[in-house]
Amino acid sequence: MPTFEPVLLANVGKPDSHTLKVYEAAGGYQTLRRVLQEMAPKEVVDRIRASQLRGRGGAGFPTGLKWSFLPKDDPGPIYLCANADESEPGTFCNRVQMEHDPHQILEGIILACYATGASAAYIYLRYEYPLAYERLQQAVEECYRAGYLGRNILGSDMSLDIYIHRGAGAYICGEETGLIESIEGHRAWPRTKPPFPAVKGLFQRPTVVNNVETLACVKHILERGIEWFQSIGTPPDPSDPRDPGSFGPKVFSISGHVNRPGCVELPLGVPVRELIEQHAGGVWKGRKVKAVVPGGLSTGVLSAHELDTPLDFSGPCKAGCLGLGTGGVIVLDETYSMVDFLHNSCRFFAHESCGQCTPCREGTAWAYRIMQRIKAGRGRLVDLDLLEEIGNSIGIIPGSTICGLADGAAWPIKTTLAKFRDELEDYIRRTNPLGCRNPAPVEALPEWREHQSITGRKLLGAEATI
């Protein structure tokens, strides 16, 4: 790959990189000054839309298009929510940015608020990030003192307040309407759409929700230009008229069985193999890759035969995964059990489902129940067919659920069964040789019955919390 100059992580590693002094010394907030003086809000929206910046939080929706959905000439207030929840397993890209370069994110937020007419912004931060909270809060206070926040920013007509809202660590709060409900003080149950947040969002007012890495990209597009942004990444697929391309830099977090876990910034489209071998130091202990999660647990898995898959918005889809997701890459070596992988996946999504939608509530619970039995040595070959049926039935695509959690829960099941079914069947045969072919229903494990009893009491309100 040609030489690439990082911009999103350019300040990481510098002494006191989280401070305003260091950020301004590197040219920070000069883009904000220029935009406030030279560009109208609509020009900013048009430029971001022309850049074809796509959201870095998981869905990859075009950012400028999302901004354009706001009602025209709305008297306000309009809000912006910066999604810093980052609860997708295997993902810590945003944490590094917030801890080491919070002002880059704040400048992006202020520019986005100028473009959209937002008068207040809320940074929704997961509670498990205490250092990120400290650094962001310090950066916000520095911005108020320097005149980058508050009334008449830098002598302009723009006024903006930024608030940091700490969540309680629920996966569902990464969904934009669940996030909005949480900020409002309600249980974080995603809302039925329409209306979409752009029309009726936070406090029932028009709202834009963007991931913090997306907002950081806004700053660099306005600073360096559309041509620079589109010189990075992969162009649209000419055979797919719906593919807008995958432009710009992306921060990938790499974890699992590698020699150098961490974050790295690269152009969208970097092959999985290059990411592992050149940037993560290869697989640890001299072992080989068995599977790779390309973008967070909900995207599913790639097999060792799919390591040349490009990590852009369409590459993982062509390999049977849900998409690029958050860019959280998890590497599993040849000794790791895919039974353990699927068991852990099902356990996570069963725990994190909010329970509103029957397909998700029941589907994730039944998938976890089946994997518990398989792992305990009571699995049957027919259980894999049942898992496959669950995976194909619970997602948002048929319109059966309010949000995408069910889809995220389904993809690890579907991809593991499609690519590692032989390993699962072998495990069932070895651990349950006498009962593996039994098609009759079997009882739940004792611990599952206790779990269901507790869950039932919670749903009835005996242990419910807000």
Write the DSSP string, 145-192: HHTSSBSSGGGSS--BEEEEEEE-S-GGGGSHHHHHHHHTTS--PPPP
What the block records as the tokens of 304 is 């060792």
- Separation between Cα atoms, residue 136 and residue 123, nearest integer Å: 9
Position 238 scores a pLDDT of 87
Do the domains at 20-231 and 338-459 have one common CATH topology? no
Residue 373 backbone phi and psi in degrees, to 5:
-65, -40
- Separation between Cα atoms, residue 113 and residue 370, nearest integer Å: 47
Angle at 379 between CA 378 and CA 381, to 5 degrees: 150
Name the class of domain 20-231: alpha beta
- Separation between Cα atoms, residue 332 and residue 49, nearest integer Å: 37
- Separation between Cα atoms, residue 304 and residue 314, nearest integer Å: 19
User: What residue spans define the domains of the chain?
Assistant: 20-231, 246-333, 338-459
| DSSP 8-state secondary structure symbol assigned to residue 403 | S
Position 124 scores a pLDDT of 97
Is 246-333 a CATH 3.10.20.600 domain?
Answer: yes
What the block records as the tokens of 212 is 């913090």
CATH code of the domain made up of 338-459: 1.20.1440.230
Position 443 scores a pLDDT of 73
Position 209 scores a pLDDT of 96
Q: Are 232 and 220 in contact (CB under 8 A)?
A: no
User: If residue 22 lies in a helix (H) or strand (E), which one and from where to where?
Assistant: helix 20-25
3 state SS of 262: strand
Position 4 scores a pLDDT of 84
Position 82 scores a pLDDT of 97
pLDDT of the chain along its 466 residues, tens only?
457 889 999 999 999 999 999 999 999 999 999 999 999 999 999 999 999 999 998 888 999 999 999 999 888 899 999 999 999 999 999 999 999 999 999 999 999 999 999 999 999 999 999 999 999 999 999 999 999 999 999 999 999 999 999 998 899 999 999 999 999 999 999 999 889 999 999 999 999 999 999 999 999 999 999 999 999 999 998 888 888 899 999 999 999 999 999 999 999 999 999 999 999 999 999 999 999 999 999 999 999 999 999 999 999 999 999 999 999 999 999 999 999 999 999 999 999 999 999 999 999 999 999 999 999 999 999 999 999 999 998 876 655 789 989 999 999 999 999 999 999 999 999 999 988 888 877 776 766 555 555 555 444 454 433 3
Q: Are 442 and 378 in contact (CB under 8 A)?
A: yes
- Separation between Cα atoms, residue 112 and residue 119, nearest integer Å: 11
3 state SS of 349: helix
| Class of residue 422 by CB neighbours under 10 A (exposed 0-12, middle 13-18, buried 19+) | exposed
- Separation between Cα atoms, residue 396 and residue 89, nearest integer Å: 20
Tally of CB atoms within 10 A around 454: 11
